Amino acid sequence: MIYILGSIGAGKTSLTRILAQDLQAPAYYEDVENNVMISNMLKKFYSAGKETRKTEGTILQIAFLTFRYQQLKKAVTQTNAVMDSSLESDFIMASQLHQNGEIDDTDFNIYITLSQEMQANVNGSPWNGMPDLAVYLKIDPDYEINEIEKRGREMEDIHTKPDLVAYYQRVNQAYVDWAKGYTRSAMVTIDRDQYDFVNDPAAKVRVLDQIEQKLMALGKLSRTDYQAILARRTQAVTAVLKNSQAS
């Protein structure tokens, strides 16, 4: 199992899609726009004042926890399933809300207990609660805000809700701090400022190679399968060149 982690707007969903396609592996998405329960909760959270967010923050994180557990029960049975959000990322978000006073101690302890129970027993069998590989998307806070604005989600709009800038920056720092101390599994760090894997084909290949070579080193991807991946990439590039020449 592969966790893609990073701050809001870092490119988690995009990399999940790209990596899953390259590996021909299952992908699991947060899918905020199509998940009505999560979407409604996020809208309430973003529009709430600080005092109200103390209630909304707890309910939101438990909603994420429930949705993530449903995904995890399937992903844990599959090879190299790629997840754009996870119980690990949920913990980072819940912790920063708790540290900022937006989840109180009692609610945070309940959240931690629920999370631990879910990780302790998935699909009726023990699981160590760790991915095979964590991929951390490190992104500059200003670049992050630009990427969030590009998404055009009304509930994330910093022009109508300028206080969200401080929230985004706080989340970014929470991931930076998390990455410094992460030891639960192997990790690959991708500098999002350097590698625009969405728009730059060369950057996409370099990012995929970093991740897949790490999977080989971990014994989670065979050399034969990796060679097959490289062959598929070559065929795809050749097909694009032929089509462009024909047109």
pLDDT tens sequence for the chain (247 residues): 999 999 999 999 999 999 999 999 999 998 766 676 677 767 777 666 656 566 677 888 888 888 888 888 889 889 999 999 888 998 999 999 899 888 889 999 999 998 888 877 776 666 677 899 999 999 999 999 989 888 877 777 777 777 888 889 999 999 999 999 999 999 999 999 999 999 999 999 999 999 999 999 999 999 999 999 999 998 887 776 777 666 6
Give the pLDDT confidence score for residue 80 in this predicted structure.
Answer: 95
Which residues have a Cβ under 8 Å from the Cβ of 208 and sit 6 or more positions away?
Answer: 18, 19, 22, 197
Other Cβ atoms closer than 10 A to 137: 25
- CA neighbours within 13 Å on the CB side: how many for 193? 8
Give the pLDDT confidence score for residue 178 in this predicted structure.
Answer: 96
Distance CA 226, CA 214 (A): 11
Query: Which pair of tokens denotes residue 160?
Result: 């109508």
Residue located via tokens 């065929």: 235
Give the pLDDT confidence score for residue 95 in this predicted structure.
Answer: 93
Residue located via tokens 């009692």: 106
Give the pLDDT confidence score for residue 55 in this predicted structure.
Answer: 67
Distance CA 88, CA 106 (A): 20
Task: Give long-range contacts, CB 8 A cutoff, 24+ apart: 105-110.
Answer: 107/58, 108/58, 110/58
- 212-230 CB burial, b ≥16 within 10 A, e <16: bebbeeeebbeeebbeebe
DSSP of 3-62? EEEESTTSSHHHHHHHHHHHHT--EE---TTT-HHHHHHHHHHHHS-HHHHHHHHHHHHH
Q: pTM for this structure?
A: 0.87
Partners of 83 in the β-ladder: 3, 28
Q: Dihedral angle at the C-alpha atoms of 214, 217, 218, 224, nearest 10 degrees?
A: 100
